[in-house]
Amino acid sequence: MTQPTTAAIVAHVTTVAQNAKAASRIIALLSSGVRNAALAAMADLLEERRGAILAGNERDMAAGRENGLDAAMLDRLSLDEKRIAAMADGLRDIAGQADPVGEISDMTLRPNGLRVGRMRVPLGVVGVIYESRPNVTADTAALCLKAGNAVILKGGKEAIHSNRAIAAVLADAAEGAGVPRAAVQLIQTTEREAVTALLKLDRYVDLIVPRGGYPLIRFVSENSLIPVVKHDKGVCHVYVDKAADPAMAAEIAVNAKVSRPGVCNAMETLLVHADVAAAFLPTVARRLIDAGVELRGCEKTRALIPTATAAVDADWDEEYLALILSIRVVDDFAAACDHIARHGSGHSEAIVTADYAAAMRFVTEVDSAAVLVNASTRFNDGGQFGLGAEVGISTQKLHARGPMGVVDLTCRKWIVLGDGQIRP
Amino acid sequence: MTQPTTAAIVAHVTTVAQNAKAASRIIALLSSGVRNAALAAMADLLEERRGAILAGNERDMAAGRENGLDAAMLDRLSLDEKRIAAMADGLRDIAGQADPVGEISDMTLRPNGLRVGRMRVPLGVVGVIYESRPNVTADTAALCLKAGNAVILKGGKEAIHSNRAIAAVLADAAEGAGVPRAAVQLIQTTEREAVTALLKLDRYVDLIVPRGGYPLIRFVSENSLIPVVKHDKGVCHVYVDKAADPAMAAEIAVNAKVSRPGVCNAMETLLVHADVAAAFLPTVARRLIDAGVELRGCEKTRALIPTATAAVDADWDEEYLALILSIRVVDDFAAACDHIARHGSGHSEAIVTADYAAAMRFVTEVDSAAVLVNASTRFNDGGQFGLGAEVGISTQKLHARGPMGVVDLTCRKWIVLGDGQIRP
């Protein structure tokens, strides 16, 4: 295949964005009945055309093997009938969720007789830039349509044939259900220049959501003229307070580290109050080591867990996404909070304690997207919080903080109902 | 005065940002009692030290006259005892507003016994970049402190001595009331490089608010690694529907254009349904012309108002901020909505109509920060909407849309209260 020129890439991306903008005006006015029927049709058509999707995926898998992708990457890339069925079920779940669009709230009657309130409306056009996993294509497109938006998808090079097959199914199903085809568009080229071009189109695109590793997130932040909601790294902490129930603390620590180490809400650092370290650490260390976790610790930790290697400074800022855990013994509650403020990424932090005052202080003082008392960090998730499917977990403070669900793909405009008021 | 080097500017701005970040952790935990007492102390000290502020302002005014600033600019820059008293009263009003910080909402009990909800917390550090008017210094600092944030102020060159005097008063008053001095910091240099440096400090700064003309807004959007809430231009429309009460329509049109033409919620374009143009336009034109408004119209408009000049394409996208109005006769409701979608800036649009269906359609279909029925666009304002003082009127869709009050200077983190839950 010949390399497209930069001009051709910019032209393609601009056309996609213009089509999305035009479609978004129509989609915003569709009833939720039409949008939900389109989601159901998408689910059915994904299953019906699984042959084409699997064929596209096989091309990606072959190229991936040829290019030496590792086993974990190949597993994320791979689709089979069961994964396609799960994708379709995900879309049906989204269709069944409550519809936020059109809700009017906070309507007040002002002294001059004006009724002033807010109406929830779609954002317009959402651009999602992501890496490898092809199921993101279906999930994100569905969430955006549910919220009344048009979506522009820019997936990774590795999954291009899978993504093309899935996006074609989604657009066909949308069109069949009375939704503009351009509700779901995939950028057809995989060059980085397509991302750069998209990030400049603030005339047409209302929100950019980057999902992927730090270099992608950074590139998007540095180049976007469009507002960005980042789904950045999770350097999550569990702090075992001196008043912790040791059995509960061990359960939570093991769950937070081991249940799914490759995700952003997994614990990366365990902080233990000095008063309970001697009693707590050896026991929990045995369970973690048995589960295959490599331990890295501060000096006090290593005095209690001889097999732990020495943590270096960089360990405290590292998102391992693997069966590795750094452990630090802290002198007191304030030292735990300081460590989190200095090294945390503002994602998910938990305290284990039986002390009411410590629990309340932790909830108040720790500034992360989710702050948990006596629960695993792994609960920071849209499904677990009752939001349904999520676009990702935002680590920024503006617009969406924590799990970003359908509601965060909308905004609220002000509406004012008068009977001739003018401003004095 | 010698020009500071780029390295010196970057060092100064970085120190300011680091101090703000450290202060923000302390401010976030102050009670609203302490924050409100500091606001009251700021108000008192502004009045007490009005001599120093007026002296600083006199230096700015002298430099402004020397540099040939026009009368309107000089008026915006100028302070007197009355304006300082108004500034102080503004701070007292903000102190009296409800405190959003710490509010816990949407607490639900999940099937596994977890209590999941949201707590409203300060954003952290807010950077405000603005031009000329020195009263912005006091207003914005007060709003940021009210919401529990530290603020970094970067004012215009013209007002540097006024701003320095005001910022020193605010920091002194804060410190006297038990709030860290670094709650309010002014960047001391006026070079554009200071803005560039600030926009890169996403490690320390959580939000950038640019207030000013289009070149400033664009520069900030293009260079910021920090999330931005823009207060961009207002190309606002009033659409006179065929079912409009002509007397009401004339009142609203005149008010929207004439009551304060230099502000962003003033009408710039009047759209009139063809069926009522002949009856409506000549009358309203006489009133507008009497008020000193220059009229520019489409051909149909000019047939009805012979003194109107021909509007050119650029007129429909222009924010005049002056006694100039463009007028277009439209064939129907849809043409009015199309014109707004194509030329509006998403700020404030009003319909005048007695027709229920037209009113509902306008409110649903027009996608602007404020959509008004039978009321002047001039009502799009934090005070008029019952929010109290505002940082500005956001024309973007994310985080804050429309008047940006104290609540929009906060965010919500998730809190989770458990009793040992782990994720299966």
Contacts of B416 in chain A (CB under 8 A): 370-373, 375, 379-380
Contacts of A414 in chain B (CB under 8 A): 369-371, 380, 385, 401-403
DSSP assignments along A215-283, one per residue: HHHHHHHHH-SS-B--B----EEEEE-TT--HHHHHHHHHHHHHS-TTSTTSEEEEEEEHHHHHHHHHH
The reported pLDDT for the residue numbered A213 is 83
Q: What's the Cα-to-Cα distance from B227 to each of A51, A228, B115, B203, B305, rounded to whole Å?
A: 43, 8, 31, 12, 46
Rounded-to-integer distance, Cα B232 and Cα B235, Å: 10
Return the amino acid letter for A305.
I
* Per-residue tokens: B152: 């970094």
Nearest chain A residue to B266 by CA distance is A423
Return the amino acid letter for A250.
A
* Partner residue opposite A375 with nearest CB, options B29, B398, B421: B421
Q: How many CB pairs under 8 A join A and B?
A: 216
Q: What's the Cα-to-Cα distance from B311 to each of A37, B261, B276, rounded to whole Å?
A: 46, 19, 20
Of residues B402, B392, B409, the one with CA closest to residue B211:
B392
Contacts of B421 in chain A (CB under 8 A): 374-376, 379
- In a mutagenesis test of the A interface, which of B27, B203, B352, B379 is the best target, namely the one with the most A β-carbons within 10 Å? B379
Shortest distance between the Cα of B9 and any Cα of chain A, in A, equals 21
B233: Cβ–Cβ under 8 A, 6 or more apart, which residues?
Answer: B214, B264, B319, B345, B347, B395
Contacts of A119 in chain B (CB under 8 A): 363-364
Return the amino acid letter for B362.
F
- In a mutagenesis test of the B interface, which of A112, A397, A408, A409 is the best target, namely the one with the most B β-carbons within 10 Å? A397
Given the structure tokens 């902080």, which residue do they identify? A271
The reported pLDDT for the residue numbered B382 is 93
The reported pLDDT for the residue numbered B158 is 94
Rounded-to-integer distance, Cα B229 and Cα B239, Å: 28
Contacts of A245 in chain B (CB under 8 A): 420
Instruction: Report the 10 Å Cβ neighbour count for B150.
Output: 35
Rounded-to-integer distance, Cα A419 and Cα A399, Å: 33
Shortest distance between the Cα of A203 and any Cα of chain B, in A, equals 11
Backbone angles phi, psi at B294, to 5 degrees: -85, 130
Q: Do B422 and A359 touch (CB under 8 A)?
A: no
Is the pLDDT score of A3 beyond 80?
no
* Partner residue opposite B418 with nearest CB, options A102, A372, A403: A372
Nearest chain A residue to B224 by CA distance is A222
β pairing state of B370-375 and B348-352: parallel
Contacts of B25 in chain A (CB under 8 A): 341, 367
Q: Do A385 and B251 touch (CB under 8 A)?
A: no
Counts for chain B of helices (H) and strands (E), in that order = 14, 16
The reported pLDDT for the residue numbered A72 is 84
A347: Cβ–Cβ under 8 A, 6 or more apart, which residues?
Answer: A232, A233, A234, A235, A236, A264, A265, A368, A369, A370, A377, A380, A393, A395
Full set of structural domains in chain A with CATH: 6-231+400-416 (3.40.605.10), 236-384 (3.40.309.10)
Contacts of A367 in chain B (CB under 8 A): 25, 28, 121, 124, 413
Q: Do B423 and A384 touch (CB under 8 A)?
A: yes
Shortest distance between the Cα of B309 and any Cα of chain A, in A, equals 27
β pairing state of A392-394 and B294-297: unpaired
Q: Do B228 and A229 touch (CB under 8 A)?
A: no
Q: Is B111 exposed, middle or buried (0-12, 13-18, 19+ CB in 10 A)?
A: exposed
Nearest chain B residue to A247 by CA distance is B420
**Residues facing B207 on adjacent strands:** B126
Interval A181-196: pLDDT, tens: 999 999 999 889 999 9
The reported pLDDT for the residue numbered A42 is 98
The reported pLDDT for the residue numbered A231 is 81
Q: A140 and A36 in contact (C-beta within 8 Å)?
A: no
The reported pLDDT for the residue numbered B2 is 64
The reported pLDDT for the residue numbered B357 is 98
Of residues B308, B217, B150, B400, the one with CA closest to residue A118:
B400
The 3-state DSSP composition of chain A as helix, strand, coil percent (nearest 5) reads: 45, 20, 30
Interval A135-160: pLDDT, tens: 889 999 999 999 999 999 999 999 99
* Partner residue opposite A370 with nearest CB, options B28, B206, B416: B416
Q: A173 and A45 in contact (C-beta within 8 Å)?
A: yes
- In a mutagenesis test of the A interface, which of B414, B415, B417, B419 is the best target, namely the one with the most A β-carbons within 10 Å? B414
Shortest distance between the Cα of A78 and any Cα of chain B, in A, equals 25
* Partner residue opposite B116 with nearest CB, options A121, A369, A386: A386
Residues in chain B: 424
The reported pLDDT for the residue numbered A230 is 86
Nearest chain A residue to B246 by CA distance is A420
Q: Do A367 and B28 touch (CB under 8 A)?
A: yes
Nearest chain A residue to B348 by CA distance is A414
Q: What's the Cα-to-Cα distance from B235 to each of A216, A323, A417, B342, rounded to whole Å?
A: 36, 56, 21, 11
**Residues facing A211 on adjacent strands:** A130, A231
Q: B1 and B177 in contact (C-beta within 8 Å)?
A: no
Contacts of A124 in chain B (CB under 8 A): 367, 397
Interval A42-51: pLDDT, tens: 999 999 999 9
Q: What angle do CA A144, A181, A100 make, to 5 degrees?
A: 25
Shortest distance between the Cα of A67 and any Cα of chain B, in A, equals 34
Q: Do A422 and B376 touch (CB under 8 A)?
A: yes
Angle between helices A81-96 and A50-66 in degrees, nearest 10: 120
Shortest distance between the Cα of A14 and any Cα of chain B, in A, equals 17
Angle between helices A192-199 and A214-223 in degrees, nearest 10: 40
Shortest distance between the Cα of A250 and any Cα of chain B, in A, equals 10
- In a mutagenesis test of the A interface, which of B26, B240, B367, B378 is the best target, namely the one with the most A β-carbons within 10 Å? B367
Nearest chain A residue to B343 by CA distance is A203
Torsion sign over Cα B369, B374, B377, B380: negative
Q: Do A227 and B376 touch (CB under 8 A)?
A: no
Q: Do A411 and B421 touch (CB under 8 A)?
A: no
Contacts of B412 in chain A (CB under 8 A): 401
Nearest chain B residue to A24 by CA distance is B367
Mean pLDDT in residue range A399-414:
96
Shortest distance between the Cα of B414 and any Cα of chain A, in A, equals 4
Shortest distance between the Cα of B123 and any Cα of chain A, in A, equals 7
Rounded-to-integer distance, Cα A40 and Cα A178, Å: 13
Shortest distance between the Cα of A416 and any Cα of chain B, in A, equals 5
Contacts of A110 in chain B (CB under 8 A): 384-386
Rounded-to-integer distance, Cα B352 and Cα B329, Å: 14
* Partner residue opposite B375 with nearest CB, options A207, A225, A421: A421
Contacts of A376 in chain B (CB under 8 A): 421-423
Nearest chain B residue to A265 by CA distance is B423
Shortest distance between the Cα of A172 and any Cα of chain B, in A, equals 26
Interval A267-293: pLDDT, tens: 999 999 999 999 999 999 999 999 999
B378: Cβ–Cβ under 8 A, 6 or more apart, which residues?
Answer: A422, A423, B255, B256, B259, B260, B263, B265, B266
ipTM: 0.94
Tens digit of pLDDT at every position of chain B (424 positions): 567 899 999 999 999 999 999 999 999 999 999 999 999 999 999 999 999 999 999 999 999 999 999 988 899 899 999 999 999 999 999 999 999 999 999 999 999 999 999 999 999 999 999 987 898 999 999 999 999 999 999 999 999 999 999 999 999 999 999 999 999 999 999 889 999 999 999 999 999 999 888 889 989 989 999 999 988 889 999 999 999 999 999 999 999 999 999 999 999 999 999 999 999 999 999 999 999 999 999 999 999 999 999 999 999 999 999 999 999 999 999 999 999 999 999 999 999 999 999 999 999 999 999 999 999 999 999 999 998 889 989 999 999 999 999 999 999 999 999 999 999 9
Residues in chain A: 424
β pairing state of A410-421 and A115-122: antiparallel
β pairing state of B294-297 and B309-310: parallel
Return the amino acid letter for A174.
A
The reported pLDDT for the residue numbered A365 is 96
* Partner residue opposite B225 with nearest CB, options A221, A384, A413: A221
Is the pLDDT score of A1 beyond 80?
no
β pairing state of B410-421 and B115-122: antiparallel
The reported pLDDT for the residue numbered B62 is 98
Question: Which one-letter DSSP state was computed for residue B368?
Answer: S
Helix (H) / strand (E) element for A289: namely: helix A274-290
Shortest distance between the Cα of A168 and any Cα of chain B, in A, equals 29
* Partner residue opposite B422 with nearest CB, options A202, A255, A359: A255
Contacts of B114 in chain A (CB under 8 A): 375, 379, 384
